[in-house]
Amino acid sequence: MNLFAQQLINGIFIGSVYGLFAIGYTLVFGVLDILNLAHAAVFTLGGLVALWLVQSAEMSIWVAFPLATLFSGILGLIINAVAFVPLRHRPDTYFSGLISSIALAIVFESAAIGIFGARTVRFPISTIAVHIWQIAGVTITSLQIEIVMIAACLMAGLTRFLRRSRSGKAIRAVAENERAARLLGVHVDGIIAFTFFISSALGGAAGILFGLYFGALSPDMGRSIELKGLAVIVLGGMGSIPGAIIGGIAFGLSEVLTVAISGTSNLRDAVAFTVLFAILLLRPSGLFGRRQIRET
Amino acid sequence: AAPAWAAMPEAKIGIVFSMTGGAASYGATQKHGAQLAVDEINAAAGDKGVHIKPYFDDDASTPQQGINVFKKFINSDHVSAIIGPTLSDTAQVTDRIAQAGSVPVLGVSNTAQGITEIGNYVFRDSLTEAVVVPNTIRTAKEKFGISKVSILYGNDGAFTKAGYDAFKKALTDEKITILSEQTFAKGDRDFSPQLTEIKSQSPDAIVVSALVEEASGIVSQARQLGIPASVPIIGGNGFNSPSLIKNAGSAAEGVLIGAAWSSTASNPLNQKFVKDYTAKYGNPPDQFAAQAYAGVYIVYDAIQKAGAPFKPAKIRDALAGIKNLDSVLGKFSFTSGRDADYKPVLQEVKNGKFVVVGE
Amino acid sequence: MIPMDLNHIFTQFYAVYGSLINFIGINSLLAISLYVTLSAGQLSLGNAAFAGIGGYTAGILTMYLNVPYIVALFAAALMSGAIAMILGFPVLRLRGVFLAIATLAFGEVVRILAINLQITGGAEGLTPIPDKTQAWMIFTALALTGYFMAVLRRSRIGWSFASIREDETAAKAMGINTTWYKTLAFTIGAMIAGLAGAMSAHLNYIITPGEFGFSAAVQLLIFNIVGGTRVWYGPILGAALLTALPEILRGFGVTAGPVRMGVNGFILLMVILFLPNGLVSLFSHNKD
Amino acid sequence: MALLEIRSIIRMFGGLCALNGVDFSVEEGEIHGLIGPNGAGKTTLLNILSGMAPPSSGQVQFAGRDIHALPAYQVASLGVARTFQNIRLFPAMTCLENVIAGQHLTASRPLLPRLLQLPSAWRLDHEYEKDARSTLARVGLENRARVRAQSLSYGERRRLEIARALAARPRLLLLDEPVAGMRQGEVTQVAELIRILAGEGMTILLIEHNMSFVMTLCSRITVLNFGQVIATGTPDTVSRHPHVIEAYLGVDKSS
Amino acid sequence: MMLEVNHLTVTYGPIEAVHDVSLNVESGAIVTLIGPNGAGKTTLLNALSGVIPVRGGNILFNGQDITRMSPHRRVAEGIIQVPEGRLVLAGMTVRENLEIGAYRRPKSGIAADIARMQERFPILKDRIEAPAGSLSGGEQQMLAIARGLMAHPKLLLLDEPSLGLAPLVVQMVFDIVTELRQNGLTILLVEQNARQSLAVSDNAYVIESGAIVLEGPAAKLRSDPAVIRTYLGQGL
Ligand SMILES: Nc1ncnc2c1ncn2[C@@H]1O[C@H](COP(=O)(O)OP(=O)(O)OP(=O)(O)O)[C@@H](O)[C@H]1O
Ligand SMILES: Nc1ncnc2c1ncn2[C@@H]1O[C@H](COP(=O)(O)OP(=O)(O)OP(=O)(O)O)[C@@H](O)[C@H]1O
Ligand SMILES: [Mg+2]
Ligand SMILES: [Mg+2]
């Protein structure tokens, strides 16, 4: 029983990490209807820059965290300006944006290798105090709780922001129909840039938390989470913030439960992706996806 | 006119590692090791001695790029010998090209089975897990009285899979019970589900086949999840890197590592290498660097024996004849099957250092 | 004297770049395999997995069963095609990125199976696969598929694909059995991919699960977009440029490692930004 | 037996009953109008007739065959073509290509002669293209053949949609607001075209809010309100029907 | 003069869709623009809204040159367009559509305005929480008009407002237009229904192939034989 409880906690935790990564991802996806495949690179760079600030600039993590998050947000603005704005009005913008963001991701990753080296690095042990609790044989760390809390707060806050606030509605309006939004007085280009900023800042923050928790940062760390992040936002329903978190947790749980139930992890990813596959067949627009509106 | 090398004999060597892609972190230290050796050799050769002209290249961690690089080395650069590539997958393909082109190739990190069986031009100085592991398990059993273990390994990479095979065989040979086998994938950062499962089985030890990127995470998360320090973690070549200690910190204490090289081995060549490398690059070397460094010296030895004009075939013969060469790895020979033949070491992490605890 | 020299230069060139040329051929075939599905408006990220299925099928047949190579090639194409057809009916109900992810998930499952199965050689891959692929085979296959695609455009199938790509609902209303045509596109694509995978396995001596993961799938899309998706030779141009790019950069003395990777990415970015219709716009004068 | 028989069609969207037991029939060769207030269920009914969406219950018979359970492409292959209220063209194709794509059911393009590059394939292409051009000419778009559909104006798009539907040479043509966005002169042209088509034996069911168009063109009209038929008959009877005036027409102030 | 358009030229690539058009809209007036399909009416309105670039000429709004002003600032200035083809935000609810309509104006009074719109178009009341994309064509058109009014425009550009509306509702829309004018709103109207639009307008322009071919007081144009022939007709 303890074992099972521990696995559930593991699943919720790793799922929240996926979700954190996916929130920013899905935000841009929802607005522009294009995938920003440089998101994983921002995730990586956010973590690496925070590490650099802590290690080389000898800052406290509490200073480095917001600075690196800000830096990631600015990367988002750069991605938008370089990889998306020039393509905005091309007929193939969907695919070309996909590719240009990959191209930029390659440039970012090579820059990361060039600047930080290819090896895995970690935050100094003293960066953040971690408490470990053993409750009834179940291990929980303070960092885990913090990460799950942050994910939950972000989900609630962002959802509310999108539903209620003026800018949130403007973001959704741009997502629905850019031309209409423009005619209604929405500063579309500004809203898009703003969305990229928020999205990338979130991506960078996720990278920092990831690095803090797992104690491992490397220039290619975005790669392994990229695919899962993609799976998660589709599972949750594109553009849906609760979907991203809940999809993340669902994905995390399916991974962990495979291990718990089968006792071996050989098929962990296979099961996770099969579940994704099955859910898509049952609910073609994901768990929380927008319902198909009439076409005729 | 007389060729340039008549005055200053120069042997061309192609050196290819994964500078980008999934194995980039290993390729980076390999290149450092090789570069250091080349610089030392060329400095020592002075005006008269045989120089090495290195052609460095990147296989981007993929077989296709590896093939292109090998073809270029052989047909365009006309190198006399090749060192690399980083990954066994790639070597499976590229070494056949070297074989077909009759250019000797020395793998310095390929550990998969069957690589040297490709042909008589294919060598390696990397001890395979199959050589290192039995010794590790035997010593560990004697020392800790281990009778039941859980295994955790990466099942999607040739290196970690080969390590697993070797561990499994050694454990069976030693009649140690395997409680469960868990796997992970390249790039995984979270190992808590597997470790939770393992914890629940209360093994005497955890046997792990992983490269250092994942190994550090596994070691620290195992301790974080409350697997007591009295349950040792046993790893292979992949663990043998200073980053393990750097990244896992105190959790790394007590980890047992069977490896092909030890940074603390008393061998003076080795001590000098560790010192020079650390001075030059600011980081202590890992096993990848050491094997690459040794590889350049091994090839250089063969080159000198073969002599100008450095015909690949003659270098091959000289390589095959290497016996008890002094190297950072120890007294180095090739087996008749062109695999490395020297003594592995068993190390333990103590007070943040690798300490040799047996052979 | 001169002909001999030319001959020498040619053999020399082929010795150095022969395998590069072969890879261009194989990658072009893979790119076209995706082009087929794209031309029906479906983004499949499963084609790399179909190449893997083809590669393993053919490899197992020639290695263990001594099946003649040509038969193995056909078997590979058929196997990939059959799986695509079975997969297609449920999956092709999905649209856009949902389809892409479902096919990607399929690819991941195939990859993980290949890692865990005995017959595929697990993580170490299937090796040594006999070396049977020759340049002429690759380029004959490429020429035939290229021709097929060029001609298909003006056929009933081609028009149906185009209609579905433009507006699936309207296509249905015009009497087009969209499910069938989408499955057809998916299947043809998978067959071409399977063939390419089989040829690649018999060129490289080995096939490993790592070869057809996410990045391989995306790479095929990159070939298509960089080359241009308006005409059948677009994907070929894209595959040729991007496959040769590392070699070209090497020729210009761009050092190995992160710098080359960065320059690679930068060039990719430039092509996307400044050639709106891909490389084909350099060759066709059809302006918009 | 009428060409199209619609019996007790009900269509629910969640709790909303868009069609609530609709019955009427369309005779072969007639021009039948379908009118009613916004949201009455006209487009929903058209979707059901063309197989784009199944009814919640009820039957549709076309030429004696039940078609309410058939997928859209099969309904189309029986000879039913339609246009869309919110215009669904193939945006990146030219006008000519849109019409050629619309020939799916009528053009045979065998693959083999094409693969062998036989002249017959080219001849067919040529023929079909000529057909398409004359179809474009029927809706007055002959000089826009090479223009992409996405750069047409609203009214031109409507006409191109009609042309594309005609390319299928349907027995029954369903038009959803064919003259929306057209001026009087243009409306007259479309009305003329529809009359000619009916004269050629085509049956037409059309939805329209342009009353002078409907009243002068249709031989019979069915009026829907809240998903139910409130009147059906000749333009004269319908336009005098008090329910219809109250729910739909109102009292025309401008005349 | 509220709106002054001088020698305006708009192109799509090589095609000139609007050619050297000059027109004026006086404050508080209703001006109708009529012309055949493809004449350039929508193009002209889009140029006024700033969503497509202008090739030549200029646009003055209350004396201020807005030719290069970005669309959202024009909206802030009070120029609102109800676009052709509705462009409702399909996935957002009817209420959210209306709220977004008021994006550029102060928050106060939005709820009251929504209530007023629901009164005008009862259907919007019934479906207030439904996604706009599920509405019927005509219902969406009503929503688009209501959404435009939510902005409290100074100059309202209406592109075919009666498109797809039932006769009763068309009547209502024209009633609203007259009512708005009484409240001092200025309107530039593009309408298929030339007869009715000329009836409520002060001035009118006829545009053909991108150029103004006729202009004058609406009453005068209503009796122009050419206009009668092509735009008013006698029914069929
Ligand atoms: N997919 C759907 N989901 C929810 N409601 C729908 C859907 N489709 C139609 N409706 C509703 O059903 C009713 C009928 O819609 P329909 O489009 O058939 O009307 P219509 O008669 O064509 O109106 P109009 O003349 O305005 O085009 C409307 O109230 C509409 O909101
Ligand atoms: N995006 C575009 N690209 C190229 N040409 C266009 C584009 N939009 C419109 N046009 C062309 O510009 C001309 C004017 O179009 P516009 O939409 O302004 O006409 P309109 O007067 O509004 O017609 P309608 O009454 O049919 O709505 C037309 O010839 C049309 O084909
Ligand atoms: Mg309708
Ligand atoms: Mg218009």
Q: Whole-angstrom Cα distance, residue D177 to residue D192? A: 16
Confidence bin at E234 (pLDDT 50/70/90): low
Q: What proportion of chain E, given as a percentage, has pLDDT over 70?
A: 98
> Which pLDDT belongs to residue E224?
87
Whether B241 contacts B287, CB under 8 Å: yes
Chain B partners within 8 Å of A125 (Cβ): 249-250
> Which pLDDT belongs to residue C3?
59
> Which pLDDT belongs to residue A154?
85
Phi and psi, residue E60, nearest 5° = -115, 135
**Token pair belonging to D182:** 């057209």
Confidence bin at B2 (pLDDT 50/70/90): very low
> Which pLDDT belongs to residue A117?
83
Residue D230 lies in a domain: yes
> Which pLDDT belongs to residue A93?
73
D187 and D231 share one domain: yes
D68 and D127 share one domain: no
Phi and psi, residue A250, nearest 5° = -60, -45
pLDDT in tens, D22-62: 999 999 999 999 999 999 999 999 999 999 999 999 999 99
Considering every ligand atom shown, identify the ligand nearest to the alpha carbon of residue E135 and give its number.
1
> Which pLDDT belongs to residue C10?
78
For residues D101-118, average pLDDT: 90
User: In sequence order, what are the beta bridge partners of D133?
Assistant: none
Using DSSP's 3-state secondary structure scheme, residue A121 falls into: strand
Q: Show Cβ contacts of residue B278 under 8 Å, excluding neighbours closer than 6 positions.
A: B284, B285
pLDDT in tens, C39-82: 999 999 999 999 999 999 999 999 999 999 999 999 999 999 99
Confidence bin at E233 (pLDDT 50/70/90): low
Among D122, D149, D168, residue at a domain's last position: D168
Residue D207 lies in a domain: yes
Whether B294 contacts B328, CB under 8 Å: yes
Q: Whole-angstrom Cα distance, residue A62 to residue A52? A: 14
Question: Is pLDDT above 70 for C2?
Answer: no
pLDDT in tens, B198-228: 998 999 999 999 988 889 899 999 998 889 9
**Mutate which of D139, D152, D162 to test ligand 2's pocket (most atoms within 8 Å of Cβ)?**
D152
Whether B333 contacts B322, CB under 8 Å: yes
Residue D86 lies in a domain: no
Q: Whole-angstrom Cα distance, residue A11 to residue A214? A: 15
Q: Whole-angstrom Cα distance, residue D87 to residue D156? A: 11
For residues B143-169, average pLDDT: 90
Ranges of each domain in chain C: 26-212
Considering every ligand atom shown, identify the ligand nearest to the alpha carbon of residue D187 and give its number.
2
Among D113, D147, D168, residue at a domain's last position: D168
For residues B116-122, average pLDDT: 94
Question: Is pLDDT above 60 for D233?
Answer: yes
Residue D121 lies in a domain: yes
Exposed, middle or buried, A41 (CB in 10 Å: 0-12/13-18/19+)?
buried
Chain A partners within 8 Å of E131 (Cβ): 291, 293
> Whose Cα sits closest to atom 3 in ligand 2?
D151
Whether E18 contacts E9, CB under 8 Å: yes
Neighbors of chain B with 3 or more C-beta pairs under 8 Å: A, C
D163 and D180 share one domain: no
DSSP C254: P
Residue D245 lies in a domain: yes
Measured in Å, residue B189 CA sits from the centre of ligand 2 at 56
Domain that holds residue D113: 91-168
Question: Is pLDDT above 60 for B185?
Answer: yes
For E233, left (φ over 0), alpha (ψ -120 to 50), or beta?
Answer: left
Mutate to test the interface with E, among A184, A187, A192 (most CBs of E within 10 A): A184
pLDDT in tens, E81-95: 999 988 999 989 999
**Which among D2, D33, D84 is positioned nearest to D229, based on CA atoms?**
D33
Which residue positions in chain A have pLDDT lower than 50?
none
D and A touch per CB criterion (3+ pairs under 8 A): yes
Chain D partners within 8 Å of A295 (Cβ): 52, 88
Question: Is pLDDT above 80 for E169?
Answer: yes
pLDDT in tens, C228-287: 888 899 999 999 999 998 888 888 877 777 888 888 889 889 988 888 888 888 876 554
Among D134, D168, D202, residue at a domain's last position: D168
D102 and D40 share one domain: no
For residues B36-58, average pLDDT: 91
Confidence bin at B7 (pLDDT 50/70/90): low
Quote the radius of gyration of chain C (alpha carbons, Å).
19
> Which pLDDT belongs to residue B1?
42
> Whose Cα sits closest to atom 1 in ligand 2?
D151
pLDDT in tens, E23-68: 999 999 999 999 999 999 999 999 999 999 999 999 999 999 999 9
Q: CB contact, 8 Å: A55 with chain B?
A: no
Nearest to E131 among A170, A187, A293 (CB): A293
D10 and D45 share one domain: yes
Q: What proportion of chain C, given as a percentage, has pLDDT over 70?
A: 97
Residue D215 lies in a domain: yes
- Whose structure tokens read 């100085």? B125
CB atoms within 10 A of CB C152: 21
